[in-house]
Amino acid sequence: MVIDAKVVRAAVAEVPDPEVPVLTIDDLGVLRDLRVEDSEVVVVITPTYSGCPAMDTIRADIGVVLDQLGVERHRVETVLSPAWTTDWMSESGMAKLAEYGIAPPTGRRSVGGPVMLSLTVRCPLCGSPDTSELSRFGSTSCKSLWRCNACREPFDHFKAI
Amino acid sequence: MTPDLLAYALRLGDDALIAAQRTAEWIAAAPQLEEDVALGNIGLDQLGQARSLLTYAGELEGAGRTEDDLAYFRDERDFTNLQICELPNGDFGHAMARLLYFATYQHLLYDELRTSSDEILAGVAGKAVKEVAYHVDHATQWVLRLGDGTDESHGRMQAGLDALWPYTAEMFASDELVRRLDVAVDPASLEEEWHRRVTEVIDASTCTRPASTYQHSGGREGRHTEHLGHLLAELQHVARSHPGASW
């Protein structure tokens, strides 16, 4: 079969992140590249964190999509460099996160420096800027746990890295 | 070159693996639920770093050993991790003292290693340095809070800082291997900045920086405290009892 890389990429880009299913791997910036080498489709992904346990599922899900498209030969490569950053998250990804109830990453961070504190994280539920951090580590590696002082609801914040 | 690089990747991978195992022991045993989650995440970061480094070591060795083979089927004397990683957890003050010492060291190390001419090491370090920044931050917050807290918390934080101090010089011990291997970071170059950063936190916490004392060594040559054997028994026994099992 003739492989149209654009069509294949569009399909692979729709694979959802297993831990934050409202985002696709393309929204997250986990999908780095897709190329065709001698009729083999090579998908390149990068983990958000070194120990991200979702990578195996993402690899398997990509395989399923490619099988369904009828792609006979494919493989998934994982690269660590350049290191993933929340700066790669798409604008639509940010909007989807907020709608889902997770405060999107704020600010940009430089590599290697101390952990930057963001000025304010708005509550994704009521929009109040009056919030406080409960723990810098949350339900997954990429999130921290916050509380809104206005509506009193706890919420996750996708932390800048 | 390759045997040196293999040994170096194993050193860093073993540090991360053994630290991850100890950190994970806190899950469901930490003083509060948020802390179970935080230490679980920190351990997961360390485990991720270990997996990348041990996978690389296996490739360099060229004998077909995987990350799992290296983690589960080597004996105590084959591990070249720092002794500070293998010591039992002790109380929470001990745990935060170790995290402050070790994460500050790892942060300085990975920050240098990011620019190594070895692409894999540089890639692992570039990723890890961002994760470890959060570990340092977490340890710092706790050392400040406990040190500058009640008499009880201050005393226990100080006891933790004192107990782990004799295992800190080993982190900066230089040897022939790191001097020979140009893609490696000579840890001796990190010592001064490490002391500056750690002292700053300890001072701010109202604790006292431990006095110079006898310093243990030997981890890089495979000589360990009695505790590593016990740790490995727990880490390895399922894989050794059921070799080849998968789930």
Establish if B200 touches chain A: CB-CB under 8 angstroms. no
Contact B127 A113 (CB under 8 A): no
Residue B161 lies in a domain: yes
Residue A16: strand pairing partners? A24
CATH number at residue B193: 1.20.1260.10
What is the total count of domains within chain B?
A: 1
Residue B80 lies in a domain: yes
Residues of B in contact with A50 (CB under 8 A): 45, 48-49, 51-52, 124, 127-128, 131
Which is nearest to A47 in space by CA: B123, B93, B219, B245?
A: B123
A55/A148 Cα distance (integer angstroms): 31
Domain that holds residue B69: 2-241
Residue B246 lies in a domain: no
Tens-digit pLDDT profile for residues B55-89: 999 999 999 999 999 999 999 999 999 999 999 99
Q: Which residues in chain B come in under a pLDDT of 70?
A: 1
Amino acid identity at B64 = G
Contact B44 A138 (CB under 8 A): no
Backbone angles phi, psi at A51, to 5 degrees: -100, 15
A73/A48 Cα distance (integer angstroms): 26
Residue B56 lies in a domain: yes
A90/A73 Cα distance (integer angstroms): 30
Interface list for chain A against chain B, based on CB atoms closer than 8 Å: 47, 49-53, 79-85, 109, 111-115, 134-141, 145, 159, 161
A46 CB-near residues (< 8 Å, 6+ apart): A29, A30, A32, A78, A79, A80, A83, A84
Residue B170 lies in a domain: yes
Going from the N-terminus, what domains does chain A have, and what CATH number goes with each? 5-78 (3.30.300.130), 91-158 (no CATH)
Residue A155: strand pairing partners? A146
A&B contacts, CB < 8 Å: 94
pLDDT of residue A117: 54
Could you write out the three-class secondary structure of chain A? CCCCHHHHHHHHCCCECCCCCCCEHHHHCCEEEEEEECCEEEEEECCCCCCCCCHHHHHHHHHHHHHHCCCCCEEEEECCCCCCCHHHCCHHHHHHHHHHCEECCCCCCCCCCCCCCCCCCCCCCCCCCCEEEEECCCCCCCEEEEEECCCCCEEEEECCC
pLDDT of residue B72: 97
B42/B48 Cα distance (integer angstroms): 10
Establish if B106 touches chain A: CB-CB under 8 angstroms. no
Token output for B92: 């929470």
Question: Measured between CA atoms, how close is A112 to chain B, in angstroms?
Answer: 6
Question: Measured between CA atoms, how close is A141 to chain B, in angstroms?
Answer: 6
Residue B196 lies in a domain: yes
Are B113 and B122 in contact by the 8 Å Cβ rule? The answer is yes
ipTM above 0.90, yes or no: no
Nearest CA in chain A to B107: A112
Residue B155 lies in a domain: yes
- Determine the residue among A80, A108, A118 to mutate to test chain B binding: the one whose Cβ has the most chain B Cβ atoms within 10 Å: A80
pLDDT of residue A118: 55
Token output for B231: 């740790």
Contact B133 A115 (CB under 8 A): yes
Residue B67 lies in a domain: yes
Amino acid identity at A22 = V
Tens of pLDDT, residue by residue, chain A (161 residues): 678 889 999 999 999 999 889 999 999 999 999 999 988 999 999 998 888 888 999 999 999 999 999 999 999 999 998 999 998 998 888 999 999 999 998 865 544 455 555 568 899 999 899 999 988 888 888 889 999 999 999 999 998 88
Question: Measured between CA atoms, how close is A106 to chain B, in angstroms?
Answer: 16
